[in-house]
Each structure stands twice: as structure tokens, then as C-alpha cells.
Structure 1
């Protein structure tokens, strides 16, 4: 029964975090709340990252340059996720960068139009991931580079849950508020599973030093981003939750590339 519930939460997490098709039976009688479901975010991140990781490994095996292989894998990732987290990062950058005060920042983030802060941030975010993946791919075997991408995906989804659970909702009627705050037990499962999955994937293909540095970088940058969101907005939004995933993933990959 416990395994069945976790499988259901994983399926719901995949549906929430990506555009991958999920059978409707997993949503029968479900009210849309994610308070318990978030415990499966790291495992869902692994499954979501498999197509782009396979693309990265295949492109490298077919003698594509590391940079081309990295951009191809990111393109596949964007297709799989529907650029969900990138959209949050862009909106969060516009609001946090251009908002004069809390309400102004929240109003900017709610606007569907992209501003200069958001556009520049997306370009930098994709470029940094591509550069980091390319450097990793230049230093290790194709399968090892793919494992690094999947490990970063698991760690970043766990840290996204941490950001979500640490802050109150900035909007009473926002999407994040309606989805429910992560339960303490679900948060602990997400953090522990994210750590274990990341260690299992990263330690065999990188040094213990590089692995620890990469995970610490993800944790510290997410903590810094969360503290900034607290000061600026007083709480999280759906956009800052998505942005926290991007911050954690970029920090993890960049640290891996630099420490490898």
C-alpha cells in the first residue's frame, strides 16, 4: 500500500512538473493538492531528466561536440517540461528585479509579458547550463555526463520542495497556495530521497570532493535565493518555486563542472 501511494505521488509529480503523459487513473478522486505529492518530486525529476540525459549521451557517442550535445539535451528538457521552471525563473527575475515594493513585484510577476530582467535571466540560465554540461562532457564519459544531469535534476527538485515549505504563500489565492503547503513528513522524504539519489548518481562518476561541492553549491544558492524572496515578497509564489529549481540545478551543474 505504501509503495502504491508513492507510485501514485510520482505519477502526479510527473504530470505537475512536465508535459509527459500520465494515465488518468492516477487522478481519480484527487483534489489537486500537492502537500503529500511533493515527496516524490526528486524521483519525478529523475524520470523527467532521462530523455535529455539520453540525448546528451547519444549525441556525445555520435561525436557531436560537447557544446552541441549540451544544447540538444537542454532543448529536449525544455520540450519535456514545457519550460515550466524557466517560465517561473523569468517571471521571478522580472518581479524581483523590477518591483519597487512587494505589491509591485507581485503584480509584475503576474503579468504574462516578459521584461528585460526575465529575458536576460533566461539567456544566462540556459547558457550557463549548456556551458557547464559541455565542460562536464569534455571531462567524463557520455554516460557519466548523463548521470550528472540526472543527479542535478533530482537535487534541484528536492531543494524546490525546501523553498516551497520554508516560506509562507505570498498570495492567498495563488497557484502555490491552492496546491497546499508541503507536509513536514513529505518534505523530509523529498530532501532525503533527493540527497540519496544525487549521491548514488554523482559519486560513481565524479570525485567525492566534486560531489560534495556541487550539492553544497545547490543548497547555498537556493538558501540565498529563498532569503532574498523572503525579504522582497514575504513568501513564495509559483514563480519563485520554479525559479528555485533553476537556481539549484544551475548551481549544481556549474559547481560540478568547476570541481571536476
Structure 2
């Protein structure tokens, strides 16, 4: 790990579009333990929008829609882009070379569109259900979803080999065991504080199973993970934690 300030700036610069610049020479692999902190910041942004929308007497569905849109804007749709590319690549490609070509293509295809629609509907639907009970449950769920989902990413980056020798994932590097453990611990602590033990355990089990399946698919399709696959992993985490929070109030 680098210095705390250096790591935080690097983590925020990578995970968000906030006006933060990564220090020169900062290694993302070393700063990856801060991903849950950056996620909590994104969740707080969405939570503020939920609170403001509900204060203006907007219906829960509208408040949830605005909040999810705000979190997407706060990250520059980084993870949504990864989800769409992965869906297109894994759904439309059969040979490794072709899948990697699709992952690099900036255009979005049918699989990507459907994946984004499903992702937004599930997140907005779950958050709308929580917002119907007030701003508090929705805010806590957003913080947990964004912190918890990002807490698992460094472990995924460490456990799953990189699919190619260039690109975002390769440039980020491989987090150390301590960095991966630190990120996971932070993600669990934040989720536990926001949602309680039951929802945290269920979310952890569901996320572990989902990421194991995603890792297996990525290795089978392209030999490992890329930045787009990491984006898909984050989206899966967000969705699962929000759904669990809505199902286990």
C-alpha cells in the first residue's frame, strides 16, 4: 500500500468522476483497498438524491430512478459500460479472439442493451421498494451496495488471471493479498453497519456464488478477466445487495 492520502486519491480518481487527480506514480493495485470507500462516497451521492427527491414529495420510483442515475453519473458509467461490453462479448462471440474484439468495441449491441435495461430495472425496482419506507433504508442500502460490491473487486482481480497483456485490468495490476483482504473487510464492515448481519450474510453468499460463476465464464471465454469483466462484477454486487436489502428489510 502507498500512503493513505495517495491511495484514497487514486481510488477516488479511478472509481468516480469527482474532481480528484491520482498522484503521479500511484499504483491502482496498491490503492485498491480504498475501493469500498470510493463506493461509499458514490452511495452517499445517490442517497442525497433520494433524500432530496422524497423531500420534494416525488414518488419512490422517481426518487429511485434519479438516485441510480446520479450514481451512474458519479462513476462516469464506468461499470455499466463494462457490463454492456461483457454481455455483448460473451453473448455474441464464440472464439477468444472475437470475444476480445467485441469487448474493445465502443459500440453497444443487443446483448449489452438488454443487460443494461435489466441492471437498471433491478436496481431501481429494489431501491424504489426501500424508498417507499423512507429515505433512511434507501440511503443505507445504496451505501452498502456500492461499498460492498467494490470491496470484492480486488479479490476478484487477484484470484482471476488477466486475459491480456494490455488494457485497464492489466494496467491496474494485481493487488496483494493484504490489499484484497483489506478491501473485502472494509466492504463487509460497511455492509454490516448499513444492513445488519442477516442481509450481509445473504449478500455475501449470493455475491460469492455469482462471482465464481463469472470467473469461470471469463476464464472459459477469454482466459481471464478484463476491465469490462470487473465492471460486470461490480454491477452484479450492486444488484444483489440492493435486492437482498429490499427482500430482507
Match of 2:15 among 7, 13, 17: 17
In structure 2, the residue matched to 1:5 is 3
What number of residue pairs does the alignment pair up? 249
Structure 1 unaligned regions, length at least 5? none
| Aligned-pair CA distance for 1:7 | 2.7
RMSD over equivalenced CA pairs, Å: 1.6
In structure 1, the residue matched to 2:203 is 214
**Is 1:110–2:104 an aligned residue pair?**
yes
Distance, in Å, in 1 between the alignment partners of 2:220 and 2:168 is: 21
Distance, in Å, in 2 between the alignment partners of 1:225 and 1:60 is: 36
| Aligned-pair CA distance for 1:85 | 0.4
Distance, in Å, in 1 between the alignment partners of 2:205 and 2:242 is: 11
Task: For residues 223-251 of structure 1, give each alpha carbon's deviation from its aligned partner in whole angstroms, at most 9, with x where no partner exists.
Answer: 22222212222110010011110011111
Contact kept in structure 2, 1:19 and 1:81, CA below 8 Å: yes
Task: For residues 31-77 of structure 1, give each alpha carbon's deviation from its aligned partner in whole angstroms, at most 9, with x where no partner exists.
Answer: x5312110111111111221111101221233211111000001111
**Is 1:121–2:115 an aligned residue pair?**
yes
In structure 2, the residue matched to 1:33 is 27
Contact kept in structure 2, 1:217 and 1:255, CA below 8 Å: no
Q: Matches of residues 127-166 of structure 1 in structure 2 within 5 Å?
A: 127-138=121-132, 140-166=133-159
Task: For residues 105-159 of structure 1, give each alpha carbon's deviation from its aligned partner in whole angstroms, at most 9, with x where no partner exists.
Answer: 1111111111110011111111110001011222x33122101110111100012
Contact kept in structure 1, 2:153 and 2:234, CA below 8 Å: yes
**Is 1:47–2:36 an aligned residue pair?**
no
Distance, in Å, in 1 between the alignment partners of 2:231 and 2:59 is: 30
Distance, in Å, in 2 between the alignment partners of 1:107 and 1:254 is: 33
Structure 2 unaligned regions, length at least 5? none
**Is 1:76–2:64 an aligned residue pair?**
no
TM-score, normalised by the number of residues in structure 2? 0.94
